[in-house]
Amino acid sequence: MRIVSLLPSTTEIVCALGLESQLVGITHECDYPGTVTDKPRLTASRISHETMTSAEIDHAVRSQLDGHGSIYNLDEAKLRELNPDLILTQELCDVCAVSYKTVSQAARSFDAGVNVVSLEPNTISDIFANIRMVGDLTGRRHEAENLVRVLSERLDSVREKTSAIAHRPRTLMLEWLEPPFAPGHWVPEQVAIAGGDHAFGEAGKPSVTTTGEAIREYAPEVIVLIPCGYYKEDILRQLPKSNLPEGWNDLPACRHDQVWATDATSYFSRPGPRVVDGVEILARILHPEVFGPPTNDQAVRV
C-alpha cells in the first residue's frame, strides 16, 4: 500500500503502526519521527510562524478563511505522481491542514482509484478510534489494538495517581497568545486526567477566543502556554512581541511562578499517540510532588 499522510498526527500514527516504509508523501509540518523528514512533501504554508507575530498570524488566517481561501498549498502534480492507494486527511480544521475539499478534488483527477479518508477526532477516545481505523485500513488492526492498549494503560496510571489528589489547581491552557484562545477538543481531558481543574475550556468542542476578563475571573493557579503548532522556542520568541491580556501579571499563576511553555505541536495540538505524553508532562507540572518535576525538554518556566 502506498500511503500519503496530509496531517502530522496521521504520519505519527502510520509510523507507530510500523508502516513508515509504505508512507510515500507527507506535509511540510511532518517532523516526527525524525526518520520521515526525507519523504516527499506535498504541502506548503502561506503563513510564517518564524517571521510573523501571534497577532499577525491570527489576522492573516482570519482574512484568508473569511475570504474562503486556504492558508495552505497542495502540490497536486506531485500527489498524482506518487499515485497513492490511501490518502489520510481531515475536515476538522482549515487552520490545521489542507482542506478535505481540496484533497478530494485533487484525488478525483487520478486515473486510478484512491481511498481518501478523513479523520475527525474531538476527544481522546476519538483519537484512539482513529488509530484503530488506520489499522483497519492498512491491515494493521492487531498493532493498532496493542498501541491503544499501551496508551490507555499509561493514561490509567496517571488517572489512578491523581484520583486521590484533593487540590486540583485551576489550570489555563492557552491555545493562542494574541488573541487568547481557551482550549477545546481533547485538551480539557488531558488537564482532568493530569489532576488539574479543567473548567476553562470545553472538552470535545473547538477552542475559542476568550477575554482578559474571563481569564481574571478564573484566576488560574497554573498557566501552560500551548499555542497551536508552536514549539517551546517559538513561544519564547513570540512572548516579548505579544500583548497579553490585561491584568496578566496579577494572576495567581504569574505571581507564584507557575507559567510554563511546552512543545504544543508535539503534545497538545496533534491528535496522535503523543497526547498521552502531554498528559504525563501536565501531571509533572501540576503535581511534581507525586510525579516529579518536568525536565527542561518537556516544559520550561516562563
Q: How many other C-beta atoms are found inside a 10 Å radius of the C-beta of residue 119?
A: 22
**3-class SS of residue 61:** helix
Element of type H or E holding 187 = helix 187-193
* Residues contacting 39, CB < 8 A, separation 6+: 23, 24, 25, 26, 30
Q: What is the pLDDT of residue 298?
A: 97
pLDDT for the residue 68: 45
Q: Tell me 45's DSSP state.
A: E
Which pLDDT value is given to residue 69? 54
Angstrom distances, CA of residue 259 to CA of 140, 225, 285, 301: 41, 8, 10, 6
The pLDDT, as a whole number, for residue 73 is 86
Task: Determine the Cα–Cα distance for residues 254 and 181; give it in Å rounded to an integer.
Answer: 18
- Is the distance from CB of 271 to CB of 228 less than 8 angstroms? no
Cα–Cα distance between 178 and 302 in angstroms, integer? Answer: 17
Q: pLDDT tens, 17-65? A: 999 999 999 999 999 999 999 999 999 887 766 677 888 777 777 776 5
DSSP state of 163: T
Q: How far apart (Å, rounded) are the C-alpha atoms in residues 29 and 36?
A: 11
Q: Give mean pLDDT in consecutive 10-residue pieces for the chain, a chain of 302 residues.
A: 94 98 96 96 80 78 60 89 92 65 71 83 96 98 98 98 96 96 97 97 94 97 95 93 94 98 96 98 98 97 96
Report how far Cα 223 is from the mean position of its chain's Cα atoms: 17
Cβ atoms of residues 236 and 261 within 8 Å: yes
Specify the amino acid at residue 142.
Answer: H
Q: How far is CA 42 from CA 77, 80, 90, in A?
A: 9, 11, 15
Its sign, for the CA torsion 158, 162, 163, 169, is negative
> Residue 212: its pLDDT value, please?
96
Residues of the chain with CATH 3.40.50.1980: 3-120, 163-301
First-last CA distance in the chain: 45
Q: What are phi and psi of 272, to 5 degrees?
A: -135, -170
The CATH number for 3-120, chosen from 3.90.550.10, 3.40.50.1980, 3.30.1600.10, 3.40.50.1220, is 3.40.50.1980
Per-residue confidence (pLDDT) for residue 61, from 0 to 100: 75
Looking at domain 163-301, its CATH superfamily turns out to be Nitrogenase molybdenum iron protein domain (3.40.50.1980)
Cα 120 to Cα 43, 92, 93, 110, 185: the distances in Å are 20, 6, 9, 24, 11
196/200 Cα distance (integer angstroms): 11
3-class SS at 128?
helix
Predicted pLDDT at 128: 98
What does the pLDDT look like over 52-95, one tens digit per residue?
788 877 777 777 655 445 678 899 999 999 999 999 998 766 66
Angle subtended at Cα 197 by Cα 125 and Cα 220, rounded to the nearest 5 degrees: 130
